[in-house]
């Protein structure tokens, strides 16, 4: 790499999209210096690639202090921000409305959630995130491209300005590729990808239709699943008169120029207003199941689209990227702060890659079910007057709606994907508790190590999560004060930031299943157990600093002094 003026930082994030910004926020939240490099100087208004933030993502955003700002940025009309409607078109016949889709109900209606889902367009979310990132102290290099990156004792990246061609160098302890499917970080690291590419193609259309709001007949909803004799579409309102439509089922070699977009748009709207439909964007995206074979190569890491690609039906790909950013972010911070070992960084791939593999399969299944059940009903529609009036015709339409709901329900009710992420890694001290088989549809709260810490709204109305510290938290039942004090002493000995909280709530004790539960910075459970525990062993395993967690045996004696502990861990 040529000699030139060099800027140093702790973490270089390549890519300033939602996942790159999320990682920066997680790191900045923990006091780590970050430089984010992004090729685009402006946030493009179109296409809107993602529009659903699930409850787990909003829980992360709440920790960063931006959840309310993100909700306020939503431009979708208020009456169109919840539920799922099945219909023949935007102005046609209603086939059924289902309010429970996507957990849009308020947090108070579900003890499982500390935050509800939100429909908000990706450009609007990104503006909030970038503003918060800059306010928190990130250096954000817009209009710069990483053209070369290498690693040794540190990471060195050569940047080139997209307009002027000027160059500069960044040196960092670590680099994270959040730079999309053609990631320079991944290709430089030589990381291959597995899975299927180009499974099918979907049209992505953004069009203006002011007449829809004036003549909308089905029940307003965040997502309108349209089924018509000539084809289906999934439509989301993204403004007062602006709509986004995903039209699946095309071959991968489809050419948008060969599509009669006026005819297609009129079919989606449901009537001909006599004017030409204005498209602000019309394109094609391919459905993939592509997962990076490794998430780490030395000082290089991958997150978001650089690590995984899968169909957008269900909103899992981007929300998975936010989960990547959180898992990797707190671990990088812990290592850089000196209270965790390198093995903690290895656990990033152990925990997040299986989630991507699982979600890729579920997302492709969502597309298949949407297309296949839709085709069957379209065939029936072609054999009848599907818009007829009368009780029998209405009953037939409601039957179609119920079938579509049953077929596509995994797309809209994915509580297992969102809340039941079961991590298994070398830093998780698994116990032998039996849990129900995983289901994409169902979430059964349990504080088994590796699982998200169950949420409870306490008697005073506050979220249990509000009682957690910023790093590790030990939740103690009443009467465990002496054990909690010993845990604090152990944490001090090995340098782990630990908060303790005593919770006198019967629901918490029932869900958490032990008098002492150690919760990680990402709100996942690291360990649970009794007071006669070697807390030094627990903390060293949870932070990737040696030992084994089979029976919690480590190189440490059962009771170690502060000096013995520091000698053993090199502190």
In terms of domains, do 129 and 53 share one? Answer: yes
> How far is residue 27's CA from residue 9's CA, in Å, rounded to a whole number?
12
- Angle, helix 481-494 to helix 535-542, in steps of 10 degrees: 50
Helix (H, G, I), strand (E, B) or coil at 233: strand
Query: Which residue, 363, 384, 410, sits at the end of a domain?
Result: 363
Q: In this structure, are residues 163 and 143 in contact, taking their beta carbons and an 8 Å threshold?
A: yes
Kindly state whether residues 481 and 334 are assigned to the same domain: no
* CATH number of the domain encompassing residue 488: 3.40.30.120
Looking up tokens 């008169």 gives 241
Q: Which of 322, 339, 363 is the last residue of a domain?
A: 363
CATH number of 127's domain: 3.50.50.60
What is the C-alpha to C-alpha distance for residues 306 and 17, in angstroms, rounded to an integer?
12
User: Phi-psi bin for 50: left (phi > 0), alpha (psi -120 to 50), beta?
Assistant: beta
User: Do residues 354 and 463 both lie within one domain?
Assistant: no
Q: Would you write out the chain's pLDDT as a tens digit for each of its 571 residues?
A: 556 779 999 999 999 999 999 999 999 999 999 999 999 999 998 898 889 999 999 999 999 999 999 999 998 887 788 889 999 999 999 999 988 766 666 555 578 899 999 999 999 999 999 999 999 999 999 999 999 999 999 999 999 999 999 999 999 999 999 999 999 999 999 999 999 888 889 999 999 988 887 777 888 888 999 999 999 999 999 887 899 999 988 999 999 999 999 999 999 999 887 889 999 999 999 888 999 999 999 999 999 999 999 988 888 999 999 999 999 999 999 999 999 999 999 999 999 999 999 999 888 888 888 889 999 999 999 999 999 999 999 999 999 999 999 999 988 889 999 999 999 999 999 898 999 999 999 999 999 999 999 999 998 889 999 999 999 999 999 999 999 999 999 999 999 999 999 999 999 999 999 999 999 999 999 999 999 999 999 999 999 997 544 433 333 333 333 344 344 434 4
Q: Is residue 513 within 8 Å of 433, Cβ to Cβ? A: yes
Same domain, 429 and 508: yes
Token couple for 48 = 């809107």
296 in any annotated domain? yes
CB 422 within 8 A of CB 451: yes
* SS3 per residue for 485-526: HHHHHHHHHHCCCEEEEECCCHHHHHHHCCCEEEECCCCEEE
What dihedral do alpha carbons 343, 345, 346, 350 form, nearest 10°? 120
Residues 445 and 358 in one domain: no
Give the residue among 184, 112, 143 at the shortest CA–CA distance from 413: 112
Q: Which of 311, 312, 289, 20 is nearest to 179 (CA)?
A: 20
Assess contact for 94 and 104: CB atoms under 8 A.
no
Alpha carbon distance 508, 49 (integer Å): 39
The pLDDT score that the predictor gives to residue 550 is 41
For residue 305, give both structure tokens.
């689209």
Same domain, 313 and 456: no
93 in any annotated domain: no
Residue 465, domain extent: 425-569
**Segments of 306-401 assigned E as strands:** 308-310
166 with 300, same domain: the answer is: yes
* Residue of 137, 127, 124 lying closest to 29 (CA atoms): 137
Task: Answer yes or no: is 241 within a domain.
Answer: no
Say what the pTM is. 0.92
Same domain, 151 and 12: yes
Sheet holding 223-228, edge to edge: 94-98, 84-87, 223-228, 231-237, 242-250, 193-208, 278-292, 308-310
The tally of domains found in the chain comes to 2
Q: What is the pLDDT of residue 535?
A: 96
| 40, two tokens | 């685009």
């Amino acid at each position: 790499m040529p000699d030139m003026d060099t800027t140093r930082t702790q973490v270089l994030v390549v890519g300033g999209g939602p996942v790159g910004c999320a990682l920066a926020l997680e790191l900045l939240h923990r006091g780590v210096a970050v430089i984010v490099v992004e090729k685009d100087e402006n946030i493009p208004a179109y296409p809107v690639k993602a529009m659903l933030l699930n409850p787990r993502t909003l829980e992360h955003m709440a920790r960063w202090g931006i959840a309310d700002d993100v909700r306020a940025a939503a431009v979708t009309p208020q009456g169109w921000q919840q539920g799922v409607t099945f219909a023949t078109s935007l102005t046609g016949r209603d086939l059924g409305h289902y309010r429970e889709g996507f957990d849009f109900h308020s947090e108070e209606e579900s003890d499982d959630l500390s935050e509800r889902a939100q429909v908000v367009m990706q450009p609007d979310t990104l503006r909030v995130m970038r503003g918060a990132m800059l306010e928190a102290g990130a250096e954000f290099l817009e209009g710069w491209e990483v053209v070369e990156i290498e690693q040794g004792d540190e990471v060195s990246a050569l940047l080139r300005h997209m307009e002027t061609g000027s160059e500069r160098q960044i040196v960092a302890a670590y680099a994270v590729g959040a730079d999309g499917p053609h990631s320079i970080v991944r290709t430089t690291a030589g990381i291959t990808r597995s899975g299927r590419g180009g499974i099918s193609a979907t049209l992505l259309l953004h069009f203006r239709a002011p007449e829809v709001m004036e003549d909308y007949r089905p029940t307003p909803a965040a997502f309108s699943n349209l089924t018509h004799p000539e084809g289906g579409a999934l439509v989301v309102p993204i403004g007062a008169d602006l709509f986004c439509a995903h039209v699946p089922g095309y071959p991968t070699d489809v050419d948008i120029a060969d599509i009669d977009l006026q005819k297609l748009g009129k079919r989606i709207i449901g009537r001909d207003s006599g004017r030409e439909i204005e498209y602000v964007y019309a394109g094609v995206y391919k459905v993939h199941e592509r997962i990076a074979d490794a998430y780490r190569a030395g000082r290089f890491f991958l997150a978001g689209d650089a690590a995984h690609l899968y169909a957008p039906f269900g909103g899992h790909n981007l929300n998975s990227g936010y989960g990547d950013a959180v898992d990797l972010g707190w671990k990088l911070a812990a290592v850089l702060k000196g209270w965790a070992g390198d093995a903690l960084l290895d656990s990033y791939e152990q925990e997040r890659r299986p989630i991507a593999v699982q979600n890729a399969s579920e997302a492709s299944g969502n597309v298949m079910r949407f297309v296949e059940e839709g085709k069957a009903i379209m065939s029936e529609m072609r054999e009848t007057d599907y818009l007829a009036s009368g009780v029998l015709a209405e009953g037939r339409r409601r039957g179609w709606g119920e079938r579509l709901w049953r077929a596509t329900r995994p797309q809209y009710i994915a509580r297992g994907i969102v809340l039941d992420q079961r991590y298994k890694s070398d830093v998780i001290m698994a116990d032998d508790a039996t849990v129900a088989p995983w289901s994409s549809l169902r979430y059964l709260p349990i504080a088994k190590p590796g699982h998200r810490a169950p949420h409870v709204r306490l008697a005073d109305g506050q979220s249990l999560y509000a009682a957690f510290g910023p790093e590790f938290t030990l939740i103690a039942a009443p009467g465990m004060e002496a054990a909690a004090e010993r845990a604090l002493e152990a944490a001090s000995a090995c340098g782990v930031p630990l908060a303790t909280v005593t919770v006198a709530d019967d629901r918490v004790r029932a869900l958490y299943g032990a008098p002492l539960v150690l919760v990680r910075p990402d709100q996942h459970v690291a360990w649970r157990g009794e007071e006669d525990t070697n807390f030094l062993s627990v903390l060293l395993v949870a932070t990737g600093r040696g030992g084994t967690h089979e029976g919690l045996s480590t190189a440490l004696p059962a009771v170690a002094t502060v000096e013995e502990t520091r000698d053993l861990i090199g502190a």
